Chains A and B, each alone.
Chain A
Amino acid sequence: MTTPGQKRSLWLAAIGVPLLLASAFALQTRIDASTRTEARIRQELLLSSPAAIKKLSLGYDSLLADIYWTRAVQYYGGQLAAQRFQLPLLWPLLDITTTLDPKLVPAYHFGAIFLSEPLAGANRPDLAVQLVQRGVAANPTVWSLDGDLGFLYYWHFRDYQNAAAAYLAGSQTERAPAWMKIMAARLQQKNGSIQTSRMIWSQIYASNTNENIRQLALQNLRGLRAQEDEQAIDGLAEKYRQQFGRFPASTRELRDTGFIRGIPVDPAGYPYVLEPAGNTSLDPRSPVIIPKEPRTPPPPVK
């Protein structure tokens, strides 16, 4: 039993409700655009320090930690997608996250890599060390955090002594993998080779599930392979010079004279370039990046 009035209001609702929902959607996107997440997070961070947030979380601190952890990852992804390589809020977000829940191991891993990373990160290896040290203290049985610490000392500071100590400490925890002890021994001999670096990055790649970390590890592994290739080609060019009295003009010459089987290409598929002075470099179009040696002197860390 429907009266004409009811029918009319039914029609109005059928048209009006989707229309209203659509405009709510449009408005939300506009509001989101006008209050950028960065501004909003900054605003929220102004509210309180990590310790205060923990006190105010009324016992729901681990839930809140999960939320801040999500925000940290979102923030990182968002900045990267927007090609903004300033990450001023990454430290506070991770600081709050791990203060709220000191056992949130993925947050330490993430911080170890991206707080320290100079290009795709916050370029603050000192803060990364601080974060991971807290993580190790709060999670003494998690060997991967010792690994992170060793990685930071080795990769960013070339501080072999502290790096070796970290790997050794990690290797002594239960269920630690065998390679940690090997790594410790290697580093004790101040053996900073490309091979060591590749080993470390392979372990980082294998032991992390975070996509951002794995991407970076893969990129570094490629860079390290290219570095190894370059060194090998440099060596061959030197041999060529000894035989022919001059450097080869190109890798093709090396091939034609039988020093190598084919034209060597970098991990992205671009042929290496041999320069007249005999040193090898990457094709300018190649996306492969060779990791730089750290410029920072080892910091005074305990």
Chain B
Amino acid sequence: MSAMPRVVAINTFREAVRDRVLYNLVVFALLMIGAAILVGQISIGIERLVIVNLGLSAISIFGLVMAVFIGVGLVYKEIEKRTLYTLFSKPIRRWEFLVGKYAGLVLTLVINTVLMTIGLAAALLYIGRSFARADVSILIAVYFILLSLALVTAIALFFSCFSSPLLSTLFTLGIYVTGIFAADIRGFGALTSSAFLKGATSVVYYLVPNFRNFNSIAAAAHGESIPFSLVWQNTAYALIYIVLLLIASSAVFSRRNLK
């Protein structure tokens, strides 16, 4: 990354840390400890399943909450508080600022996720398992969760460029949910006899980022292997949408009169 975005990114990360965002890790740790102890008490055979399901779901949900709620304020807050006045008097372009803010939050999410994954690994060790080859799919599932979080962050950032946090939250979650059910929406369309609806739902399917692509929690929990082709396909897929959203964000933001 070139110099300007990196400076902004590091500061964004610092803001998150000082705002005690990483405290969510404590909650996650408690959750994992509780689950490990409980699961250890009751059942035999599905400990791993429960821990992996719970852990990955929590990683995904905690990350989603962070990505959305910090993401929608990324740009908006700086406009509202007028902290951008002094920043833009420095030799930094507006898109560099956006990329920096984006990278900063993604960095925060990556660190947060890595720490949570370590917690999950510790819980798995506690319930008495050594790691096996099949556990690679857990790491891939975590990677896919990160991809989806990076994508959600880009969506939130985009809305943050022109609308209030409340609306941005609604829009972002709206797109996320649409993205999860994109295949079903197309399914509904295919059941109708209207050619227009068929077409429209197909357009939605291919236009909205398809978040179900990134869900491998069940596969990881059951120790199924995830094909390597899916790894690069998902990576490329997420990157394309992220680039598109950053382009759109900077197109909107570069023309905007600051308050």
Contact = CB atoms under 8 A, between A and B. Distances in A.
A73 B191 contact: yes
Nearest to B184: A67
Interface stretch (A27-35, A157-165, A178-186): A27-35
A17 interface: yes
Contact of A27 (B205, B240, B243): B240
B249 to A, nearest CB: 12
Interface in A28-66: 28, 30-31, 34-35, 40, 43-44, 46-47
A231 B213 CA distance: 56
A24 B206 contact: yes
Given A67-B181, A71-B187, A31 B230 contact: yes
A74 B198 CA distance: 14
A27 B236 contact: yes
Contact of B184 (A21, A23, A71): A71
Contacts of B218: 43-44, 46-47
B210 interface: yes
Secondary structure of the B contact surface, majority rule: helix
Contacts of B212: 40
A44 B216 CA distance: 10
Interface residues of A, number: 25
A73 B229 CA distance: 29
B79 interface: no
Given A35-B230, A47-B218, A73-B191, A20 B206 contact: no
A17 B210 CA distance: 18
Nearest to B239: A20
B251 A13 contact: yes
B210 A28 contact: yes
B247 interface: yes
Contact of A23 (B191, B224, B240, B247): B240
B98 to A, nearest CB: 14
B77 interface: no
By size class, the interface of chain B is: 20 to 34
Contacts of A73: 187, 191
Contacts of B53: 47
Q: Give the one of B53, B187, B237, B247 with max A CB within 10 A.
A: B187
Contact of A74 (B190, B213, B222, B241): B190
A30 B235 CA distance: 13
Contacts of B243: 20
Contacts of A16: 247
B188 A17 contact: no
A21 to B, nearest CB: 7
Interface string B223-237: 010010110011011
B244 interface: yes
A208 to B, nearest CB: 14
A34 B230 contact: yes
A24 B219 contact: no
Nearest to B248: A17
A35 B227 CA distance: 9
Given A20-B240, A28-B237, 7 more contacts: A13-B247, A31-B210, A31-B234, A35-B230, A70-B187, A73-B191, A74-B187
Interface of B: 53, 181, 184, 187-188, 190-191, 205-207, 210, 212-213, 218-219, 222, 224, 227, 229-230, 233-234, 236-237, 240-241, 243-244, 247, 251
Interface of A: 13, 16-17, 20-21, 23-25, 27-28, 30-31, 34-35, 40, 43-44, 46-47, 67, 70-71, 73-74, 77
21 contacts: A13-B247, A20-B240, A20-B243, A21-B244, A24-B206, A24-B237, A24-B240, A24-B244, A28-B206, A30-B229, A31-B230, A31-B233, A31-B234, A35-B230, A43-B219, A47-B218, A70-B188, A70-B191, A71-B187, A74-B191, A77-B190
